[in-house]
Amino acid sequence: MKFSSAIALTILAASANGYELLKDYAKGFRIGCATNTIHYNKPEYISAMKAFNYMVAENGCKFVSIQGTKGKFSFNDCDNHLKKAAELGMAFRGHALIWHAMAPKWLENEDSNTMKQSIINHITTVLKHYEGKIDTWDVVNEAIDDGSNGHGWKMRNSFLYQKVPNFIDIAFQTARQVSPKTKLFYNDYNTEGIWAKSESVYQFVADLKKRNIPIDGVGIQYHVGIKVQPKFESINDLIGRYCKLGVEVHITELDVSCDDNCYDSDGGDSKQGQVYTNALKACLNNSCCTGFLVWGVGDNDSWREAKNKPLLFNTNYQPKGQYTAILNLLKNTPESVLKDRAVQAPSIDFEPAGKVVKLNDGWYTIKNPASGKYLCVKDGKGANDQNVEICSTKQKWKVTNNSDKTITLTTEFGEYNLDVAKGSDENGANIIIYKANGGSNQKFVLRESNNANAYTITTNISNGYRTLDIESEGRVDGANILQWDNEQKGNQIWNFEAASGSSGSQTEAPSQATSCWSESLGYKCCSSCNVSVQYTDNDGAWGVEKNEWCGILKNCGSSNTCVGAQGYPCCKNTCEVYSTDNDGKWSIENNDWCLIDKTKC
């Protein structure tokens, strides 16, 4: 499923949330928050996220989260953050490729030469995976020592620095070579213009620029409080100096403790709001400041504890005075100031789990094999808003295929369709029946599951990311059906059994040798077998015709010639190896990755 910010925007989101959204007044200027997938099951958390147009993962994209075991890359959590950003129309910021504090033990225990190669391999693999999806990354995080006094800088004496003293240069150089279009940032704390370290980090970045190390920006974390905060003049001047240096600035992790004012009549909101607005004013006052993020959503989620009330939303995910202060500042900022630094978010192409399955039109019973129960309308009654649950009765449902490759499911109790209540795309939305109306909330897509001849029934209203789910994994008659993230669990798997006397049976799978397998993925098949293979994946071989991807028919045969992988072509002229993974050996041609042709090298 292909997302773009424009498509993913929720119509009338402000009225649905009950308050005005920051993103609606940011005019494309990136204003965001750090999120964590462990909270994505809270509707109120998701609603608060919708106030922003920019996201960063708290931990999901860090080294240990992606490569906890050497050589085994798991992008699941980082991908899930990115998918949620795409779903909500948010741009996404990568954080962080190299950081001493969340690195796996196996890396820490390596010798110098091995560690250097591991750093290169990790950066290479991660940036290749997110090429074209994440346009900005913190390449190195928190490498300058807190004791730096403003006269030069002192490197943090981490295991990284001890074994690979030039690891920062290596990291930035590798990142630029791997992904030339990605913006590369250095990110650090105590750099807001309060402490001497602020000047040391500035000098450090200036040195990187002087030595032609490819750095594009600086992340100022901005963990402060009412008692300890930078003067507006200090942070404004500091950002201005970075502008003159030729780098961008993001305020990346802003939170503000209420300190001694926590028990003021307004809980410290007004004074915290002043800290927030000073930071945003300084950012908007300098054209190189292109991003502004807070480190968390609600106070309960903050690493600084709820009692310090550090974020824009309270423990119930309702906006506080600080939020209103930021909102009002955006409202009063000239539109030209915001639009001049707006950056178009990359389109993010993610396909929900499981290949699309097509059944014949007709009548079926729908059984959950884990419980042995069937999909049923409560009390066998056809009426608007009638609940859907599991029961022992083999109730029938009519499958009707639609022109947009979705299906509708009509109950046997009249012209009532399976329906996601209130057209909600959120987890926990109830499943009911309602008079047939052709709406997106009455459309579904069947997808393959991990079980043979069993499917998930994904909801079109959620772009296919959520599926029919038996609440609390219930297995008794009357257990409720709702919508939830597709995790391919037993309570989300269904068998479609042709009803007795029905002409509707499961579609015979066409021969893979001759069928146009790529049509179900939204692409035409190639017109002949003479099309060159550009790359292969689990679906099949892909070619290009008229500047568009096409699926090569299975009966076109195989070849001993090189095919690309992961969307990259084979190298035409080079055999120089820059990286190695399960697909083979990789090099670079025309500023892009290519797979080395084994037949030539």
> Pick from 22, 9, 15: which is nearest to 90 by CA?
9
Alpha-carbon distance 170 to 118, whole Å? 11
Alpha-carbon distance 339 to 26, whole Å? 8
Residues 6+ apart with CB under 8 A from 490: 368, 369, 370, 473
Are 28 and 90 in contact, with CB atoms under 8 Å apart?
Answer: no
Determine how many CB atoms are found less than 10 A away from the CB of residue 240.
17
Kindly write down the DSSP assignment for every residue of 402-457, as one continuous string: -TTS-EEEEESSSSEEEEEGGG--STTPBEEEEE----GGG-EEEEE-SSTT-EEE
Strands of 109-260 (E only): list them: 136-141, 183-188, 217-220, 223-225, 248-257
Write phi, then psi, for 80 (nearest 5 degrees). -65, -35
Q: Do the bridges between strand 444-448 and strand 431-435 make them parallel or antiparallel, or are there none, so unpaired?
A: unpaired
* 497 catalytic residue (yes or no): no
Alpha-carbon distance 174 to 47, whole Å? 38
- Cα–Cα distances in angstroms (integers) from residue 127 to residues 28, 75, 155, in the given order: 25, 11, 26
Write phi, then psi, for 135 (nearest 5 degrees). -100, -5
Alpha-carbon distance 303 to 102, whole Å? 15
Are 249 and 239 in contact, with CB atoms under 8 Å apart?
Answer: yes
Are 168 and 99 in contact, with CB atoms under 8 Å apart?
Answer: no
Alpha-carbon distance 453 to 449, whole Å? 8
What 3-state class would DSSP assign to 306?
Answer: helix
Q: H or E stretch including 44?
A: helix 43-49
Question: Catalytic one among 131, 248, 253, 426?
Answer: 253
Residues 6+ apart with CB under 8 A from 520: 355, 356, 358, 405
Q: H or E stretch including 322?
A: helix 321-331
> Pick from 331, 302, 231, 314: which is nearest to 268 by CA?
314
Alpha-carbon distance 114 to 529, whole Å? 45
* 199 catalytic residue (yes or no): no
What 3-state class would DSSP assign to 5?
Answer: helix
Q: What is the helix, strand, coil percentage profile of the chain, to 5? A: 30, 25, 45
Size of the chain, expressed as the number of residues it contains: 601
Question: Catalytic one among 142, 192, 389, 426?
Answer: 142
Task: Indicate which residues carry an active-site annotation.
Answer: 142, 253
